[in-house]
Structure 1
Amino acid sequence: MAQTISRRRLLQGTAAVGVLTGTGALTGCALGGDSDDHDAKGEKSAANPLGVEEDAPLEVVVFNGGFGEEYAKDHEAMYRERHPGARVEHSATQQIAETLQPRFVAGTPPDVVDNSGGSQIDFNALVSQGALANLGELLDAPSLDDPAVRVKDTLLPGIVDAGSYDGTFLALNYAYSAYGVWYSEKLFADRGWQYPATWDGMIALCRRIKAAGIAPWTYTGVHARYMSWPILAAAAKLGGVDVLTAIDNLEPGAWRHDAVRTAVDAYRQLAVDGFVQAGAEGMDHIQAQTEWCRGRAALISCGSWLENEQKAVTPPGFRMTVAPTPSLTSGDKLPYAAFRGAGSEAFVVPAKAKNVRGGLEYLRIMLSRAAAADFTRKAGSLTCVAGAAAGIDLPPGLTSVTRMMAAPGAQTFTWLYPSYYRKLERTFVNAATADLFARRIDAAGWVNRCQKAADDIARDPSIKKYKRA
């Protein structure tokens, strides 16, 4: 059974800061500083390239969400096998910020943290206060599978960029998530429906689905930002990836770009024409996804963790399938096959961890093919390790992800503003998208509200800014 964070440890950390302020910025104390005065170190060698102190304890805390925690226990066993003198402490929680934020402030963080989930600690606060160790040494270390190949050369494209802030690699986004529109291949085959490559085709399909007595779309109204994902994906395909770069860099007018406005107009049509499931506005992600699995809606926007998250309620033969967002026009700058693909599940090593080198070594072990394959089997997700899923019997959803990745014209893109400025997406874009699909605002209202929120962040001197190249 998984260990839990002890009440004593939590209270000790909370006392250090007085009142825990949820998922907001880490305030009151600076978190940076050189970790050399307390970081355990050993002798570097070919067998120990990161200089791990063999008997130094290692503490790992993971987010116990859609991927579960069993994979982490296996990774920890791999660490103990390489470093048998080390005691490894494992904890899992869904309340990352509430549990660990006081420990960061008190200077007693774990050695490895999976900073993920709805209650993750704000990355902007962690980065701006120097709370995270530089993972650059990990990138340059020899990979576990082939010492002649550096770790960074085993990673999928974009992983280093997504985890870098001001050019410093600070977060390893371990899971690889493909985002798109999901449907049941069985339902579509039984009804004679085909997923469309164009927006006109999407509207025509929605009319057919609605006529059959099924809601064409559902969505997680409580976390309405899930519907901002196809909007921004469609905007990127229409206007090019520079549209996303401008948003990430808080450029004036970025959210008001014509491509964004056109995409918002298109997706708002789903609500206006009655193509969205009644009651979705009040659903959380599990409720909406369960409605979809039960066949009460045909389409849903999500990332590729969906299959694992819903495995307990997915009917036999459902054949979960993902597809790219349809092209909005025949003149889109990116092809239909382009899709948002990005790392997720960000693992970090705190700068003030007692065993920073052990933390780096743990990540190096995670990036071995054996560890990555084990994650895919247990967590139902691909990883950032290129080719690690080869030979694995994948479930239908992940099989469809690999097909999408290999399709002619396939290319990936993503945006980084949620990592740079978490509140922008989780609060402001989320609220604007909820109002959009509830038909309380139109496309102009959506882009104006998002732009105002971005402008407010850009003007706020207390918020550290990042530049995406």
Structure 2
Amino acid sequence: MTHRTTRTPQSALSTRRRFLQQLAIGGAVVGPGSAFLASCATGGGDDDDDAAAEEPQGEVSEDNPLGVPTDQPVEIYIFDGGFGDGYATDIHQPIFSERWPDIEINHHAAVDIAGELQARFAANEPPDFVNNSGDGQMDTSQLISDGLVHDLTELFDAPSWDDPSVPVRDTLVPGAIEMGTRDGTPYVLNYAFTVFGIWYNKTLMDENGWPVPTTWAEMLDVCADIADHGIAPWVYQGVTAPRYMNWPLLTMATKLAGPEILVAIDNLEEGAWGHEAIRESAHALWDLGQKGYYLEGVEGMEFRDAQGLWARGEAVFCPSGSWIENEEADAIAEDETFELAMMPEPLLSDDAVMPLETIRATAGEPYFVPAQANNPRGGMEYMRAMLSMEGARGFTEMVTSFTSVLGSSEGVEIAAPGLSSAQAALNAAGENVINWFYTSWYPTMENPGIDQATGALLRGAADVDEWVERCEDVAREIREDDSITKQSR
């Protein structure tokens, strides 16, 4: 299966190692849409050793360091969401096939990954490679606990695709492997590198002389002026994903009080969600709704519908990750004058302990190899091809997203204004890059837990005290559930 996707040229990126190290912030595995579904699969235990022993394996050699069997097909599933699947069919698969022409690739694209694959995991008949993303994302933590995800140590220790003298692990930004690691074992490859912030309609802002707000007081002033012009100041991802607003909420709170508040949340500490800085940030977003600054009816919209209206000029501000430029490319293309840009979240107070330029950024978009796959070594070899310089650069060119491969931005031209502004924000942030882990450690804590609480806050069905209470209840359920393996930092 092959189809063609037009590539977008892009402007030059800095590739200094120090800058890339600043990108390596451990944290949540997030992709375009980040809901999680609990896995219905069962397995693991002693069967894992038997499965490993039965893995088909070719002869290990300098040209075949993972021992990929050349007489076995590789079955892959790609999430057909914000990044689409053209990067797989048009870039990664040709790279793989050039080196392994006799290995058949069975490609599948799916919007609902769990809906497509949970029954196959339950039957111990999973594919060889899974891009586990989107609102139909499977619960990776549960899959790992059930012994259904393959250890990727061999992949990261193997020689890299481009230079046999350099192991794969040394080609990745620091922290990328650790984000997919549980109890010391790497299970997930987080391939894309995402910058989070508030994305805005730069065309409207420039035309009307509205300044990019740096404080929350300035944000409210700008919102009042925008509303007076008959435009909605804000949109968020509707009933599907109000959790997108957790990102500016937690980022603004962290700027105000420092990253220790995120550690407390990740470690499930009692009272963490009730910290005064988090309350203040939650109140700011609640107040937007009280003032009528959210797009009318957004609370009942699907996330793509809401974002599409933003891209068509019906709202100015939208929280998201740097995938949004590709995700809304069709809507953006309808208006040749539309230009988007990213801004860091405003400061809630002048006495904030972190600077305005502080942003959230992390490696994300998870890929894994199932432990019960027919050809797990083929799945890992496919990952090794993805992590080639050609594969990483091609991904960036096609979907306007950075990757976790060191130096892969060198020579890539970024014409996309949104990604260019994200690059500028990363440069400005320096070492002030934050992230949190609870969304990947405890998927159901984020969705449906905190997600539903934040949805109620935004639509005015809960005030800040009620929101805090609901968030604390969600954290308590995770904390007291002995069946859930706890992580800490």
Give the alignment's TM-score, normalised by structure 2: 0.88
The Cα of 1:37 is off from its aligned counterpart by: 2.7
Instruction: Determine if contact 2:41/2:121 at 8 Å carries over to the other structure.
Output: no
Instruction: Determine if contact 1:404/1:410 at 8 Å carries over to the other structure.
Output: no
What SS does the corresponding residue of 2:191 show, helix, strand or coil? strand
1:347 to 2:367 alignment:
yes
Distance verdict in 2 for CA 1:210–1:173, change over 3 Å: same
1:119 to 2:136 alignment:
yes
CA distance in 2, matches of 1:28, 1:39: 19
The Cα of 1:295 is off from its aligned counterpart by: 1.4
Equivalences for residues 135-154 of structure 1 within 5 A: 135-154=152-171
Instruction: Determine if contact 2:197/2:345 at 8 Å carries over to the other structure.
Output: yes
The Cα of 1:25 is off from its aligned counterpart by: 3.0
2:58 matched to which residue of 1?
A: 42
Map Cα deviations across residues 172-228 of structure 1 (whole Å, 9 max, x no partner).
111111111011222111111121222222112112212222111111221111111
1:436 to 2:457 alignment:
yes
1:107 matched to which residue of 2?
A: 124
Which AA in structure 2 matches 1:219?
Answer: Y
Distance verdict in 2 for CA 1:133–1:262, change over 3 Å: same
What SS does the corresponding residue of 2:330 show, helix, strand or coil? coil
Q: 2:440 aligns with which of 411, 415, 419?
A: 419
Instruction: Determine if contact 1:30/1:105 at 8 Å carries over to the other structure.
Output: no
1:331 to 2:351 alignment:
yes
* Greater Cα offset, 25-34 or 201-210: 25-34
Instruction: Determine if contact 2:41/2:143 at 8 Å carries over to the other structure.
Output: no
What SS does the corresponding residue of 1:60 show, helix, strand or coil? strand
Map Cα deviations across residues 10-50 of structure 1 (whole Å, 9 max, x no partner).
xxxxxxxxxxxx93332554476123232121232322222
Distance verdict in 2 for CA 1:390–1:187, change over 3 Å: farther
What SS does the corresponding residue of 2:419 show, helix, strand or coil? helix
Report percent identity of matched pairs: 41
Instruction: Determine if contact 2:42/2:146 at 8 Å carries over to the other structure.
Output: no
Which AA in structure 2 matches 1:236?
Answer: T
Map Cα deviations across residues 263-285 of structure 1 (whole Å, 9 max, x no partner).
11122121122221211111111
Equivalences for residues 26-175 of structure 1 within 5 A: 26-27=40-41, 29-30=43-44, 33-34=48-49, 35-73=51-89, 74-175=91-192
Instruction: Determine if contact 1:337/1:411 at 8 Å carries over to the other structure.
Output: yes
CA distance in 2, matches of 1:54, 1:334: 53
Q: 1:381 aligns with which of 385, 393, 401?
A: 401
Distance verdict in 2 for CA 1:406–1:229, change over 3 Å: same
CA distance in 2, matches of 1:350, 1:356: 7
Q: 2:469 aligns with which of 416, 436, 448?
A: 448
The Cα of 1:410 is off from its aligned counterpart by: 5.5
Distance verdict in 2 for CA 1:269–1:162, change over 3 Å: same
1:247 matched to which residue of 2?
A: 265
1:393 to 2:407 alignment:
no
What SS does the corresponding residue of 2:52 show, helix, strand or coil? coil
The Cα of 1:2 is off from its aligned counterpart by: 6.2
Map Cα deviations across residues 61-87 of structure 1 (whole Å, 9 max, x no partner).
111111111111131221121122211
CA distance in 2, matches of 1:373, 1:400: 19
Q: 1:201 aligns with which of 193, 212, 218?
A: 218
Map Cα deviations across residues 382-432 of structure 1 (whole Å, 9 max, x no partner).
211133123223211111111111115453221121212211111121111
What SS does the corresponding residue of 1:403 show, helix, strand or coil? helix
CA distance in 2, matches of 1:294, 1:56: 47
5+ residue gaps, structure 2: 4-35
What SS does the corresponding residue of 2:53 show, helix, strand or coil? coil
1:362 to 2:362 alignment:
no
Equivalences for residues 280-295 of structure 1 within 5 A: 280-295=298-313
Which AA in structure 1 matches 2:389?
Answer: R
Which AA in structure 2 matches 1:159?
Answer: A
1:7 matched to which residue of 2?
A: none
CA distance in 2, matches of 1:26, 1:103: 10
CA distance in 2, matches of 1:132, 1:302: 29
CA distance in 1, matches of 2:134, 2:84: 12
The Cα of 1:140 is off from its aligned counterpart by: 2.1
CA distance in 2, matches of 1:409, 1:203: 28
* Greater Cα offset, 382-391 or 364-373: 382-391
Which AA in structure 1 matches 2:384?
Answer: R
The Cα of 1:462 is off from its aligned counterpart by: 2.4
Instruction: Kindly report structure 1 stretches of 4+ aligned residues shifted beyond 4 Å.
Output: 27-32
1:220 matched to which residue of 2?
A: 237
Which AA in structure 2 matches 1:342?
Answer: T
2:423 matched to which residue of 1?
A: 402
Map Cα deviations across residues 140-162 of structure 1 (whole Å, 9 max, x no partner).
22222233332222222332222
Distance verdict in 2 for CA 1:414–1:371, change over 3 Å: same
What SS does the corresponding residue of 1:312 show, helix, strand or coil? helix
1:462 matched to which residue of 2?
A: 483
The Cα of 1:356 is off from its aligned counterpart by: 1.7
Map Cα deviations across residues 81-124 of structure 1 (whole Å, 9 max, x no partner).
11222111111111211111111121111111001111111112
Q: How many residues align?
A: 450
Instruction: Determine if contact 2:112/2:137 at 8 Å carries over to the other structure.
Output: yes
Instruction: Determine if contact 2:289/2:458 at 8 Å carries over to the other structure.
Output: yes
